[in-house]
Each structure stands twice: as structure tokens, then as C-alpha cells.
Amino acid sequence: MGKKSEGRAERQKLKHEKLERSKAALLAKVVIARSPRQIVSPPKNEAPRLAPHLQRLAALEAERSPKAIKDGSRFRARVTWCLTKADRKEHWSWGEARQWSQEEWDGVIHPPFLEFSRLTWGEIDQFSSETGHKMHHGHEVGDLIPEAQARWSELGLEQYDSVFRFRLGGQRRAWGFIVQAHFHFIWWDREHSIYPTELG
């Protein structure tokens, strides 16, 4: 190798070493932040302030809506129902058969339930009788006659401590329980015999 090529190789080596030193110095100056810097706290997501008349309207609207809607329960959901747990065996002690007839099903039971399934539970809650009482509403299982309470246990339904009943005109009632927005039809009550008063 000649002197010229040796000199060139030496210059390249020095140039490379200088470049490596400058890279190391540059990297030493760089600060790697693990999280972004935040100088000012972000503003809280507060609700916009309303004019006084709009505040009053909002308060009235909140009072009108049923509590259950605000809680996210079934009142906004459409009514669904089934007969999978219906108790249709044997008779009550007063002689009434638990099984309904085909005529009762076609003429008295099924048509209203088709209508109910077009409504939400909130709409069902708005129905009232001529006396001003809710037509369709819940009861505690303990409100029922003792025979019905015992039958409820025999059916293995003890985990449900409340029942719901639909009034289907006159003394006729459909009893069951609700899971979320789904009504499980249990009993067909022709003479309002399952609840111990004529006012239920």
C-alpha cells in the first residue's frame, strides 16, 4: 500500500471516529420522556350552564321520567313474554284448573299479550283502571294467598320474591315474574283468587 492510500485510510478512520463521537454526544443530550409533559390540568367535563328558565324545564322533565328509566331498568324496553314456566298442572284447592282452555287462550289471554308485546314496560306502567289504580303491577310473593306461596316454592321459584300481574279485564289476571324485560307467565287466574282481596 502506498503512502497516499495509507493517508486516505487514516483520514477515513479519523472521520469515522469523529462521527461516532458526535453521535454519542448528540444522544447524550436527548432526554427520552416516558410520558408527555402536561403544563396545565385539562378542564373538567362540566355540564353547560343553562339559563334559569331552561334549568326549570330540565328539572321538571327529570321529575316526570320514571326513576327506573334513569336507572337503566326495563321501562324503556319492549315487553317480551313466554309460557316456558307456566304452571298448567292439576287444580287449585277451590277447584279451578290451572290449565286454560283453547277458547280462553284464543279469546281472553293471547290477544292482550299480543298488544302488550307492542308496548314498552314504561307504557304498561301508565295503564290505570277506572278507579285510578295501576292495571298492571307487581306484588311481593308474600302478598299472595298461602296456597299460591306454597305452589311458588314447589315450582322452584323461591329466588323470585316478587310477582307481576296483568289485568285482563274483570277479575281475570295473568301472574308471573319478570327477568330484565321478559315476563314469564306462570298462572292464569280467572276469578282473582290468587290475591286475597278484590282490590288487587
47 in any annotated domain: no
Predicted confidence (pLDDT) at residue 32 exceeds the cutoff of 70: no
pTM over 0.85: no
Q: How confident is the model at residue 97 (pLDDT cuts 50, 70, 90)?
A: very high
77 in any annotated domain: yes
Predicted confidence (pLDDT) at residue 137 exceeds the cutoff of 90: yes
196 in any annotated domain: no
Q: How confident is the model at residue 196 (pLDDT cuts 50, 70, 90)?
A: confident
What pLDDT is recorded for position 125?
93
Task: Give 138 or 48, the one with higher predicted confidence.
Answer: 138
Average the pLDDT over 71-94 and give the result. 91
22 in any annotated domain: no
Q: How many domains does the chain have?
A: 1
Rounded to the nearest integer, the mean pLDDT of the chain is 84
Ordered DSSP codes for 79-107: PEEE-TT---SSB-TTS-BSSPPHHHIII
What pLDDT is recorded for position 175?
98
Predicted confidence (pLDDT) at residue 199 exceeds the cutoff of 90: no
Domain that holds residue 156: 68-189
Contact 163, 153 (CB under 8 A): no
42 in any annotated domain: no
Average the pLDDT over 127-148 and give the result. 92
What is the chain's Cα-based Rg? 37
Local structure of 49: helix, strand or coil: coil
What pLDDT is recorded for position 110?
97
Contact 110, 82 (CB under 8 A): no
CA distance 175 to 177: 7
